[in-house]
A and B are shown apart, each in its own frame.
Chain A
Amino acid sequence: MLIVLGRRLANVIPTLLAVVALVFLLFSVLPGSFISGMNEDGRSAMDPAVMERMRKEMGLDDPLLERFAKYVVNIAVGDLGTSFRTREPVTKMLSGRIWPSLKLVMAAMTFAILVGVTLGFLAALKPGGLLDTAAMVGAISGLSLSQFWFGLMLMYLFALKLQWLPSFGYGDGGLRNLILPAIALGVGPMALLARTTRAAVLDVLNADFVRTARSKGMSERRVVEWHVLRNALVLVITIVGLQFGSLMGQAVVVEKLFAWPGVGSLMVDSVFQRDMPTVQGCILMIVLFFLAINTLVDIAYVVIDPRIRYR
């Protein structure tokens, strides 16, 4: 187990370096900068001398490589730089945003797993049945929905018409504010999980060892409990991992829509203002989250499937 963890962590560092380099370079070729952005709204024609001083202060005139090296070294000691906009350390800005984002992603994934896996599982036990048909129609609709539209519909129905839940905002951080954005974010993975689980269970139900189990005189229920579940889980967990990891990135839209104070909405705001250090910090967080989930999935494989051994 420790070896798995160690190996995974060793893989994380080069991945992170690549991501940092890519993001840094992409932003350095983007036209416009924080300072010209401040100027371009036209109302505050800025004194060129002031602009010059600010550029110097922010280190924007230094050679690219030098800035990059400085940035990487700073990251290594846990310093993500200072936001151009608020003049606060990026780490401090992020720290308040991570927990709401995590909460949203976890809630969305819990919803997706509970509903999706259960639906897919029940559908597979009676393929072609009413529940199967209904669940698969639902799953295809869920996959084709746009989060943006679906979120608006949720707001319209549950907040505006029924007035059951608040339409946006973080509130006191309780469950009431979490429900709608979590469903809006979780409906895609839920639909995908329903389909994957159904396919996985059907696949396992046709396996030779299930026939062996039946030949032992086992009830269908025991066959499923003792032999089908774990085997189907191996297939499902891959999808759970992939979806979970990318959910933080997908959360950008939903966070913005529901005015959720997470990493995603911070990133969108910062992009519009060319607040490079903050954007880079946000992307770094999302990537870190993805890698962390991947590592967890790899560990889950080892726990569930004895055939998998990392050497």
Chain B
Amino acid sequence: MTTPLLRVDNLRIALASDGITYNAVENVSFEIGRGEAFGLVGESGCGKSITALAVMGLLRRPLSLGGGRIVLDGQEIQDAPAAEMRRLRGKRIAMIFQEPMTALNPLSPVGKQIAEMFVLHQGANWNEAMDRAEEALRQVRVPSPERRIRDYPHQLSGGMRQRVMIAIALACGPDLLVADEPTTALDVTVQAEIIDLIAELCAAKGTAVLMISHDLGLVANMCKRVAVMYAGRIVESQVADAIFATPSHPYTQGLIDSLPRLGERARRGRQRLTEIAGVVPSIQAYPAGCRFNPRCPAVTDICRTNVPEATSLPADGLVRCHHHG
């Protein structure tokens, strides 16, 4: 097997709060191959976004890297000096954020914000960079890019702004695109367009994607493999198809049960969607043992005391549950 593009190994992210250090994320490991789309799924606050920021080297106080390794293309980058990381960011790993409304500078024309990438990483002058920004806008299918490059973010719709973000992220042809909930803030109709655009452009350029979302369905559609996070840990990781067919962790099962299914109502009549009882524990109050135990339907004594080890599943999958197998 060739070396993966990105290997995250035993990642731990520390959160300092009132003199106490918590582990916001621990024991997180995954690999992404070249050109592969990998999904990271979980509820708000489970640590998926900060995992993405850690990969980008953008953790800021009170968050910091507590341990583990991040290996990009065979090179360990978790302790890379700031200047080194700056050369990687944007050029080899790029990121799209959740909020297209605030992720762009309101006082700068969008064309210029794209052009910055060419100036920063390819030594282009501004004129040349603006021409290429126009081309980049055309690639993300913004209509009449020659006019839009002079527009300010407030003159564009949310979907258009997210296209601008994609143009920025893909400007320098990165090896890895980190997409942190890229469609959550958008209208449902626009969501599919944006996801298709990301999938298509990345497939064409051979860019790998780390897709982060709370929407298991969306991630499973786009990604080859999916990892499910709960309360700072990966609880299950499988090939996307398998995760629907044979969910192995009670939390994954719960997530799948809570998805509405097309045609279900016609077949079985109007029913309440199943929900997972309880709420995600706050980081200060993570329970001992398996962190899902207070909400788990299959909880037994061992779940409340012992942290479950990872059990292998077919095709490089894994699950962390005492009751599996």
Q: Which residues of A contact B (CB under 8 A)?
A: 207-209, 211-219, 222, 226-227, 230-231, 234, 304-307
Contact = CB atoms under 8 A, between A and B. Distances in A.
Instruction: Tell me the interface secondary structure of chain A in the complex.
Output: helix
Nearest to B109: A306
Contacts of B107: 230-231, 234, 304-306
A213 B86 CA distance: 11
14 contacts: A209-B105, A211-B58, A211-B97, A215-B56, A215-B89, A217-B86, A217-B88, A217-B89, A217-B90, A217-B121, A219-B83, A227-B105, A227-B108, A231-B105
Contacts of A222: 120
A234 to B, nearest CB: 7
Given A214-B58, A217-B121, A209 B152 contact: no
Instruction: Tell me the interface secondary structure of chain B in the complex.
Output: mixed
B119 to A, nearest CB: 10
A209 B86 contact: no
Nearest to B116: A216
Contacts of A216: 89-90, 94, 116-117, 120, 168
A224 to B, nearest CB: 12
Nearest to A219: B86
Interface residues of B, number: 29
Given A208-B103, A215-B58, A307-B152, 18 more contacts: A208-B97, A208-B102, A209-B102, A209-B105, A211-B97, A211-B103, A212-B97, A212-B105, A212-B168, A213-B116, A214-B58, A215-B90, A216-B117, A217-B85, A217-B120, A227-B108, A234-B107, A304-B107
B106 interface: yes
Nearest to B101: A208
A214 B97 contact: no
B91 interface: yes
Which A-B residue pairs are the 7 nearest by beta carbons? A217-B90, A217-B89, A208-B102, A216-B90, A209-B105, A306-B152, A215-B95
B154 interface: yes
B87 interface: yes
